[in-house]
Amino acid sequence: MSIKEYKNVAYGLHGRNKLDAYIVKNETAPSPLVIFFHGGGYVGGEKETAVSTELMHDCLAAGISFVTCNYRFITTDPYPAPMQDGTRAIQFVRSMAKEWGFDGQRIASAGSSAGGHIALWNALNGDLADPASPDPIERISSDVTAFVGHATQVSKDQRFYEPIYAGPHIQPNLTLFYGMSSLDELKQPDILQLAEEASAITYMSEHAPPAFMAYDFPLEGTTIPADASVDKVIHHPMHGYLLKQKYDQLGIPFTLRHAGDPVQKGEITRFLSNSDRRLPPQGM
């Protein structure tokens, strides 16, 4: 097994639309692939941080190709730009399946924190291809076979917290995220509608791919402590717990791990290998 690297590949027109690809060259069959989006609150972070993660190391060792992506920051491009970049990245990578030599029908999305939400938003939205687009990349499916998230939010809507958290914190960077001038706009009807559209959990359906979510904090009860730090609030395993309830209702595989029930060695790559929901052949 060898690994072919492609660095700083442009997947779109914007300056931060760049990705690095590490393609496993298996002797028997094209490898599956994971597309990873870094964390950083939508205002920071770089694709290179994935290189030091256990996820990337384990994927490559297990024969799973790995792509790590940058995306636009909300400091210059508010929602939906980061999510649209996630869609574009998936479509572009799938378009390279034959040239790079991986299995374009077995692509999973993954990410950490904000990047996890980008990956989840796209995973739950399913295929966002535009068959009528003059851009051939936009005509390619953005569907994925599985999702893996670390410390991932499932909602950008403050109403999500009302039944589970009584503390004072709101999510950071919301004014930037929605392009607002003030937090006073949060309850305006247009912003509430935007918050619903921006939240991955909104798109949960029977078409959702299998999911694996892990958190660094413990899951103790079914609420977030009122005195929790803002970091704990936005990265709390209650996010994954509430999404898991929806998955369980539909009988779709979902693994939730947290500090009290941590990820076991090799568990994520086994999940990815077993989540073989092959997609229909794409017209690429």
Please tell me the pTM assigned to this model. 0.96
How far apart CA 164 and CA 155 sit, in angstroms, is 13
pLDDT reported for residue 275: 82
Beta bridge partners of 34: 66, 108
Report phi then psi at 46, rounded to 5: -145, 150
3-state SS, the chain, equals: CEEEEEEEEECCCCCCCEEEEEEEECCCCCEEEEEEECCCCCCCCCHHHHHHCHHHHHHHHCCCEEEEECCCCCCCCCCCHHHHHHHHHHHHHHHCHHHHCEEEEEEEEEEECHHHHHHHHHHHHCCCCCCCCCCCHHHCCCCCCCEEEECCCCCCCHHHHCCCECCCCCCCCHHHHHCCCCHHHHHCHHHHHHHHHHCHHHHCCCCCCCEEEECCCCCCCCCECCCCCHHHHHCCCHHHHHHHHHHHHHCCCEEEEECCECCCCCHHHHHHHHCCCCCCCCCC
Class of domain 2-272: alpha beta
Within 10 Å of residue 101's Cβ, how many Cβ atoms?
15
CA 79, 83, 88, 93 torsion-angle sign? positive
Torsion of CA 142, 75, 194, 255, to 10 degrees: 50
How far apart CA 195 and CA 163 sit, in angstroms, is 17
Beta bridge partners of 84: none
The residue ranges of every structural domain in the chain are 2-272
From the first residue on, what is the mean pLDDT of each consecutive set of 10 residues in the chain (284 residues)? 96 98 92 98 98 97 97 98 98 98 97 98 98 98 98 97 97 96 96 98 98 97 97 98 98 98 97 74 47
Length of the chain: 284
